[in-house]
């Protein structure tokens, strides 16, 4: 009557979709101009990946962070991670959406692992250097910084997924009998 099992053939469509969401999250994090961090009192100081601004209401004085080497490194790591993520997404669509090509799946997992490492480094460098050089009080991280971590977490999950999927090629193609976790009589 009631049966639970894993439908591996659905992974063919879900994995590229998760990568698409990771791309969207990464673009939001990189393109956000409202800031990655902001101070808690009346928003008189905020900083994005590209610049930091001080002021009140309509009187803002903004300075580019791209003059600082650590900010250049953060921007480069995030953009390179996004490019690798886009390449992995394209390869995953080729490998999974038409026919299942399991030889490409570990390559996709490796690309995603490289992108994860780059973005984790960038997302750790930013707050450390921000607090060293610009810190003046209590700051909160905004949704844009959270989208950067969200994309990275999605990519970490896909690394595991793409590294494990080649073991289940028959299940993804629908050639194997479904294995049920629970079956009631």
Q: Is residue 179 part of a domain?
A: no
Above 70 in pLDDT, residue 170?
A: no
Gap between the Cα atoms of 115 and 26, Å rounded: 11
Q: What is the CA radius of gyration of the chain?
A: 21
Angstrom distance (rounded) from CA 180 to CA 117:
36
Range of the domain at 146: 8-34+63-169
- Kindly state whether residue 155 falls inside one of the protein's structural domains: yes
Query: Residue 135: which CATH number?
Result: 1.20.140
pLDDT digits (tens, 9 = 90+) for 40-91: 765 677 788 888 877 777 777 888 888 889 989 999 999 999 999 999 999 9
Residue 32 region, left (φ>0) first, then alpha (ψ -120 to 50), else beta? beta
What one-character DSSP code corresponds to residue 49? S
Domain count, the chain: 1
The answer to the question of residue 41 being in a domain is no
Any domain includes 105: yes
Q: Give the per-residue pLDDT at 184.
A: 63
Does residue 74 belong to any structural domain of this protein? yes
Smallest CA-to-CA distance from 144 within 51, 49, 75 is with 49
């Amino acid at each position: 009557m009631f049966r639970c099992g894993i439908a591996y053939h659905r992974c063919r469509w879900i994995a590229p979709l998760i990568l698409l969401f990771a791309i969207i999250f990464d673009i939001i994090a990189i393109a956000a101009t409202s800031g990655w961090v902001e101070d808690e009192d009346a928003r008189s100081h905020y900083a994005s990946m590209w610049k930091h601004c001080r002021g009140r209401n309509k009187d803002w004085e903004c300075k580019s962070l791209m003059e600082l080497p650590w900010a250049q490194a953060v921007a480069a790591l995030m953009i390179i991670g996004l490019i690798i993520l886009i390449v992995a997404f394209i390869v995953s669509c080729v490998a999974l959406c038409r026919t299942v090509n399991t030889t490409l799946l570990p390559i996709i997992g490796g690309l995603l692992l490289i992108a994860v490492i780059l973005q984790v480094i960038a997302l750790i460098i930013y707050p450390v250097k921000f607090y060293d050089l610009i810190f003046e009080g209590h700051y909160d991280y905004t949704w844009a910084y959270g989208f950067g971590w969200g994309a990275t977490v999605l990519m970490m999950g896909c690394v595991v997924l793409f590294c494990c999927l080649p073991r289940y090629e028959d299940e993804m193609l629908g050639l194997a009998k479904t294995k049920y976790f629970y079956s009631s009589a």
